[in-house]
């Protein structure tokens, strides 16, 4: 009985983990600038129907990006051709200038959930991410990425 009680927390830990179905990061920003014309495209295939998937977005920037939030548009294109648009506006700083980002020595990172508990039928998906910053480019960008995880 004691062995069973010792194994229970381990079983619970493994039963709550998610499977990464897809992940990709872009870090090709010349001079840390993300141009308005540079739409990032994430293409991937889902081999089997997924009942519950989560999509998250990761944005890394320089220590002081000189802006409080980032305006972007994310579009998820399903295998049947339908699209789902999401406006993203991750906050990097509060009104007092304190960072919401998780910062290291050389860069800061913000991770946000984009879509949760999403049904994903098998097939080809395309996610596009567009910079909606007011200027020609968004400065001080190190990388951005998308991760798709499932409970299955």
Q: Which token pair is 1? A: 């009985």
Query: Average pLDDT, whole number, for the chain?
Result: 89
Tokens of 119: 């049904």
Q: Check pLDDT > 70 for residue 4.
A: no
Mean pLDDT of 66-76: 93
pLDDT tens-digit series, residues 20-63: 999 999 999 999 999 999 999 999 999 999 999 999 999 999 98
Which pLDDT value is given to residue 5? 40
pLDDT digits (tens, 9 = 90+) for 85-143: 999 998 888 888 888 888 888 899 999 999 999 999 999 999 999 999 999 999 999 99
Is 75 within 8 Å of 83 (Cβ atoms)?
Answer: yes
Question: What pTM was estimated for this model as a whole?
Answer: 0.84
Residue 135's contacts (CB-CB under 8 Å, 6 or more residues apart) are 36
- Among 1, 68, 70, which Cα is nearest to 29's? 70
């Amino acid at each position: 009985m004691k062995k069973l009680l010792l194994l229970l927390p381990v079983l619970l830990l493994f039963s709550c983990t998610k499977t990464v179905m897809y992940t990709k990061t872009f870090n090709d920003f010349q001079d840390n600038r993300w141009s308005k014309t540079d739409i990032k495209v994430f293409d991937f295939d889902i081999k089997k129907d997924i009942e519950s998937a989560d999509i998250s977005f990761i944005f890394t920037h320089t220590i002081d990006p000189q802006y409080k939030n980032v305006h972007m548009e994310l579009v998820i294109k399903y295998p049947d051709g339908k699209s789902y648009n999401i406006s993203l506006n991750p906050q990097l700083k509060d009104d007092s200038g304190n960072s919401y980002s998780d910062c290291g020595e050389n860069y800061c990172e913000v991770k946000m959930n984009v879509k949760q508990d999403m049904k994903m039928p098998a097939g080809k998906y395309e996610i596009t991410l567009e910079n909606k910053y007011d200027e020609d480019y968004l400065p001080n960008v190190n990388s951005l990425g998308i991760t798709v995880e499932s409970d299955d």
